[in-house]
Homo-oligomer: A and B are copies of this chain.
Amino acid sequence: METISIGLLGLGTVGTGVVKIIENHQDKIMHQIGCPVKVKKILVKNIDKDRDVSIATDMLTTNPDEILNDPEIDVIIEVMGGVEETKKKLLHALENRKHVVTANKDLMAVHGAKLLQVASDNNCDLFYEASVAGGIPIIRGLVDGLASDHITKMMGIVNGTTNFILTKMTKQGKAYEEVLEEAQRLGFAESDPTSDVEGLDAARKMTILATLGFSMNISLEDVKVEGITKVTEEDIQYGKQLGYTMKLIGFAHRQDEKVEVSVQPAFLIDSHPLAAVNNEFNAVYVYGEAVGETMFYGPGAGSMPTATAVVSDLVNVLKNMRLGVNGKTATSPQFKKNLKKPDEMYSKYFLRLQVEDAVGVFAEITSIFSENGVSFEKILQLPVKEKGMAEIVLITHHASLLNYENILIQLRDLSSVRTVKSSYRVEGGTK
């Protein structure tokens, strides 16, 4: 019986997990594909480094060509990260007719379309389930499970670090900086957390999900991104009082074949299934016209969940090899990209203002809303410490982004409005 040989690019925690799973689940994999699988060669930076897994030194190399040009290697698993250099290596692999499995969301968000095209041209599989929410088979869910539905909305909690931080801020009433430090100490946040807390990581994942779910070539530049660094515990507590939970949400909406994709901190009504997704967990909520509401929940990152998704993709590549159908199972996007304009993007908003506590101020503010055709779902006026001032928290009914931004400009111009303290998108609640 022939053995299928794998080349592994990268031997960090995910790569080590992949090696372990392939070893420990050899029987199960053989049962599914009918022949043994082995990792033949592994690209590393430093051959002599101490590792968490026992691997013969002659399996390690620092020269990628020893893997990419080895005719015995059928499948390349890429878990080294990086974008431009890694893209070159994978293009090289695909041109050598090697199937590719990657966990690299940065790469897929930026060069996914090109790589998938080259894979298809060479009759190769290119699978990337692990690139979004490692532990959740969401990509397969979108491609196969909801294949016949028309997906109109996806909302994702797709970054574990920010969900951990917001959960702690919500449940323990702590400030952002304090929780960030705790997250760094526990290993849930990097020492440079920028890519997570500024929403970039989530934006890359939403790019991949929107491309698949809407069958449209969405690029990273199409995603409007706002991070969580300005979210205050006060905002979170006000939301709580009104029945909302703060989450960093990746939104992808489609209406009349026009789409919008964004990542931003948003208030979800407490009964929304995503509102109960806490700590470092991820979840993707999908609304399909026929199926209604579904949600996929699981660990978003972590070396073993990601390695599991990588090996699942590998098993699917191997099944396709056995069936002789590699490179034929993907479909190119069905629709031309068509992005919504600000007057077509509708949402509810949470707005917190500090205003002068004087006769007529309230009327002045509300008239700006009504002039722009926007009405309210909830209004809360609160006293503040400073004499002569009041705080107003508003939740609007659905408003177009254009109208809402006009309102913000006009409010900032009002002499009676001291500051627009914060403003968030709101999802759920009375229609």
Contact = CB atoms under 8 A, between A and B. Distances in A.
A193 interface: no
Give this chain's copy count: 2
Given A21-B148, A308-B148, A334-B31, A292 B288 contact: no
Given A299-B293, A315-B148, A308 B288 contact: yes
20 contacts: A17-B290, A21-B149, A31-B331, A135-B294, A136-B294, A137-B140, A137-B146, A140-B141, A140-B145, A141-B141, A144-B316, A290-B307, A292-B304, A293-B298, A294-B299, A295-B295, A296-B297, A319-B329, A323-B323, A325-B325
Contacts of A319: 329
Contacts of A295: 295-298
A35 to B, nearest CB: 14
Interface string A280-303: 010000001011111111110010
B137 A145 contact: yes
Interface string A306-322: 01110110111001000
Interface string A129-143: 100000111001100
Interface of A: 17, 21, 25, 27-29, 31-32, 129, 135-137, 140-141, 144-150, 215, 271, 273, 276-278, 281, 288, 290-299, 302, 304-305, 307-309, 311-312, 314-316, 319, 323-325, 328-329, 331, 334
Contacts of A135: 291-292, 294
B292 A298 contact: yes
Nearest to A331: B32
A294 B292 contact: no
Contacts of A290: 17, 21, 304-305, 307-308
B297 A32 contact: no
